[in-house]
């Protein structure tokens, strides 16, 4: 199983427009972050995308992605779904609708905000999507990979993380959460890799901050952990990465790992 970080930034990306802080002005490519998204590839060639933000087209081209079997949606904020219109070339190449998995709250938002996709129509060339409601957080299969939704809260909004298992390999992806119940946290036991959001050092009202993310990692004890969905307030990659525990790293755009 393979994991590619397509974007590791927060909703504004890094650099932030018109910001002159040392992170936004950094020449280190690891400090340049598109909106958060990952690609998970199975041993059978199946590709799963988690979140389809406004940088989706750029991310697909940069990583030469030729096909997607499914898209998992953590929640329907625009930085996580704003690229959905750009699935049209994949509809054309793959000759099928795109399978999209989300909870009920995200499905309501998608069908409202992108109503032209989901209303009855005969206009050619619109995106074609099959929505799957996974609000009950029951495991489901995509190719060789078993996906288990993990429920959490993004302030008052119910959101999903995802555990992905293939053979003896175990990955989980958590973003835009600031709370996970203990019973859901148990789904993160026995992981090879945990990816979790850490917005900044200071506490935030709707995202885990760095100390909170490290606490979750300590409780779950994955072999390795990567931090994502980071704002420019996190600081310079080269500086912050050196302060982390040995099994924890800052993720960065275009990082690819084998699990």
Q: What is the pLDDT of residue 173?
A: 98
Closest CA relative to residue 74, chosen from 51, 56, 53, 52: 51
Q: What would the mean pLDDT of 103-122 be, rounded to a whole number? A: 93
41: pLDDT strictly greater than 90 = yes
Q: Long-range contacts of range 118-127, CB-CB < 8 Å, 24 or more positions apart?
A: 125/88, 126/88, 127/84, 127/85, 127/87, 127/88, 127/91, 127/98
Mean pLDDT over each residue of the chain, to the nearest integer: 97
> Which 8-state DSSP code applies to residue 97?
P
94: pLDDT strictly greater than 90 = yes
Q: What is the pLDDT of residue 133?
A: 98
- Structural domain boundaries, residue 19: 2-258
**C-alpha to C-alpha distance for 211 and 169, rounded to whole angstroms:** 27
Q: What would the mean pLDDT of 36-63 be, rounded to a whole number? A: 98
122: pLDDT strictly greater than 80 = no
What is the total count of domains within the chain? 1
Q: What 3-state DSSP class applies to 239?
A: helix
**C-alpha to C-alpha distance for 212 and 226, rounded to whole angstroms:** 14
Only one residue has tokens 């704003």, namely: 82
Q: What value does the CA radius of gyration of the chain take, rounded to a whole number of Å? A: 17
**C-alpha to C-alpha distance for 209 and 193, rounded to whole angstroms:** 19
The structure tokens listed for 214 are 């490290």
**C-alpha to C-alpha distance for 243 and 227, rounded to whole angstroms:** 13
The CATH number linked to 204 is 3.60.15.10
Q: What 3-state DSSP class applies to 149?
A: strand
> Which 8-state DSSP code applies to residue 247?
T
Whether residue 58 contacts residue 88, with contact meaning beta carbons closer than 8 Å, is answered with no
198: pLDDT strictly greater than 80 = yes
- pLDDT grade, residue 15 (50/70/90)? very high
């Amino acid at each position: 199983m393979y994991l590619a970080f397509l974007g590791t930034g927060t909703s504004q990306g890094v650099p932030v427009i018109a910001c002159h802080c040392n992170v936004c002005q950094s020449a280190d490519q690891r400090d340049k972050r598109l909106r958060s998204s990952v690609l998970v590839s199975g041993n059978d060639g199946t590709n799963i995308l988690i979140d389809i933000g406004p940088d989706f087209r750029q991310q697909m081209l940069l990583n030469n992605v030729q096909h997607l079997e499914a898209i998992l949606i953590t929640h329907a904020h625009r930085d996580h779904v704003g690229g959905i219109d750009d699935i049209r070339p994949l509809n054309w190449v793959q000759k099928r609708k795109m399978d999209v998995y989300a909870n009920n709250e995200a499905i309501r938002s998608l069908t409202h905000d992108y109503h032209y996709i989901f209303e009855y129509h005969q206009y050619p060339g619109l995106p074609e999507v099959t929505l799957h409601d996974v609000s009950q957080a029951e495991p489901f299969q995509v190719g060789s990979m078993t996906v288990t939704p993990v429920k959490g809260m993004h302030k008052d909004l119910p959101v999903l993380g995802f555990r992905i298992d293939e053979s003896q390999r175990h990955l989980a992806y958590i973003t835009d959460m600031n709370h996970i119940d203990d019973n859901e946290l148990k789904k993160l036991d026995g992981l090879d890799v945990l990816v979790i959001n850490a917005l900044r050092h200071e506490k935030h009202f709707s995202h885990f901050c760095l100390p909170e993310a490290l606490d979750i990692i300590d409780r779950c004890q994955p072999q390795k952990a990567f931090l994502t969905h980071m704002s420019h307030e996190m600081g310079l990659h080269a500086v912050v990465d050196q302060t982390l525990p040995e099994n924890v790293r800052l993720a960065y755009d275009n990082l690819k790992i084998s699990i």
